[in-house]
Amino acid sequence: MDLVAATMGPISIPLMPGMPPWFKRSGPTAAIASWAAGLTVWAYVKWIVESTDTAMVVGVPLVTSLVLYVAIGLLKPENREDSDALVDSLGSDPEAERATATV
């Protein structure tokens, strides 16, 4: 349980909000920094503070990761045209559009 909490919590922050257009500013720097900070905070809470409270062991790294992901995205935006085009294309299917155009 502890290893899952250590990895899945901080990793889920860049994965889940990483695709919606609201977080297009947050790039790989924000993702890696938030994951590393979440893992570091988990190790601190687990081994230095020696907390056995599940909410503390899971919640504090998760919140740390979320705050850093959003803050780094706001302070150091990484807008790139190719990644913006990829995110914008998720709402459409070019093959389906071509198929209806030829019919």
* Each residue's pLDDT expressed in tens, for the chain with a length of 103 residues: 667 767 788 888 888 876 676 777 888 899 999 999 999 999 999 899 988 888 888 889 999 999 999 999 999 988 777 767 776 777 777 777 677 766 6
91 in any annotated domain: no
103 in any annotated domain: no
42 in any annotated domain: yes
- pTM (global) more than 0.75: no
46 in any annotated domain: yes
With beta carbons less than 8 A apart as the criterion, state whether 30 and 68 touch: yes
Domain, as residue range, for 60: 2-77
56 in any annotated domain: yes
90 in any annotated domain: no
Please count the structural domains in the chain: 1
Distances (CA, A) of 59 to 27, 35, 40, 54, 103: 23, 14, 13, 8, 53
16 in any annotated domain: yes
